[in-house]
Each structure stands twice: as structure tokens, then as C-alpha cells.
Amino acid sequence: MTRGAGVPDSESVYRLITNLLDPIEYPAEELASLYQSRWQIETTFNEMKTTLKGADRVLRSKTPELVKQEFWGLLLAHHIVRKVILETALVHEQEPDYLSFKNSLSIIRRKLPHSGAFPPNQFQDWWSKMIEQVASGLITSCRGRSNPRCVKRRTKQHLPRQRNEALNQCYNWKIEIVK
């Protein structure tokens, strides 16, 4: 997909270039809507690689079986954080995308060591307090890219982007099929 010249929130033209040529089997509207899903997948990979595992850490296991086990552990941990976010969104009638993954992970890491320090009948109270803390991490702007959409330049000594420019910019998407 390529982006035409323009500024955020303006009438910009996006063109999807694909080799899926059968319009009946692959409708243009469906292909265009899948582009946003792609960014959700990329964001999930980023959450697992940098936020959950840590950007400077690698998988420590030395055998293929243990690497698989470590990877499954990362997937399970990601699922647990997302489950807490979903539960929070349902309780507070919010969109899960507007709850911070990083904030939620931080709260879970702080609260989890204390989960065994009370009788089981107090679990619901502990859970409710954690849900309230996760709800406080509401993201007020849209969940956009972690890097701005811009023309890539050669690596230079200085950054091409001005420091006061926002990293996450909201775009209004409109699907229009042109024949």
C-alpha cells in the first residue's frame, strides 16, 4: 500500500497494490479493511518483543525445545495481559484499544507478587482493585503508529523530523473503490 502526498486528516489517496486479481474472491473493500488489521498484528509483535520481553533481551534458551517453551511463555504472558485489559474494558465500558498495554503490564507485575499473601476469599477484592488501576491507564489519543508515516531518508547525523512533531497521528480512513 502506498500513500499519496498529503498531511494527516486531509483528503489523501491510498492505493493498494496486490497480485490478488480476482475481484469476486478478493473484494477491494475487504482487502482495504485488512490493512488496518495488519497494523494491529504489528503492534502485537511490538508489545511482545519490546514491552513484554524487553528490547535488549534475547531468548535465553539454548535448545529448540526450550526456545519453543520460552516463546509459548511469552504468548501466555501476552494473553494474560490482554485478558486483564479486556476485563477492564468490559467493566468500564471502554474500548480495549484505549487501555495502555505497558501500563497494564506494569500494574500486573506490581500486584502479582501480593496475590498469594491473602486468603482466597479476598481474591475478588484484589482483582477489582487491579482492574481499577488498569482502567486509570486510559490512552486519550488514538492508537497510531509508533513511528510517523514519512519519506525515509538516508541515515544522517541529525534527525530529519522536528522534535515537536507528534509520533502518533490520527488518520480518517475512507474506503472508496475506483474502477
Range of the domain at 53: 2-135
User: How high is the pLDDT of residue 1?
Assistant: 39
Out of 60-69, 135-144, 164-173, give the one with best mean pLDDT. 60-69
Q: Cα(53)–Cα(90) distance, rounded to whole angstroms?
A: 27
- The answer as to whether 175 is a domain residue is no
Helix (H/G/I), strand (E/B), else coil: 21: coil
Q: Across residues 3-21, what is the average pLDDT?
A: 59
| pLDDT range class, residue 72, cuts 50, 70, 90 | very high
Record the pTM.
Answer: 0.63
- The answer as to whether 112 is a domain residue is yes
User: How high is the pLDDT of residue 65?
Assistant: 93
- The answer as to whether 54 is a domain residue is yes
- The answer as to whether 33 is a domain residue is yes
- The answer as to whether 157 is a domain residue is no
- The answer as to whether 167 is a domain residue is no
Question: Which residue type is seen at 140?
Answer: T
Q: Domain total for the chain? A: 1
Q: Check if the beta carbon of residue 131 is closer than 8 Å to that of residue 84.
A: yes
User: How high is the pLDDT of residue 3?
Assistant: 35
Query: In degrees rounded to 5, what are phi and psi of residue 14?
Result: -115, 135
- The answer as to whether 19 is a domain residue is yes
- The answer as to whether 43 is a domain residue is yes
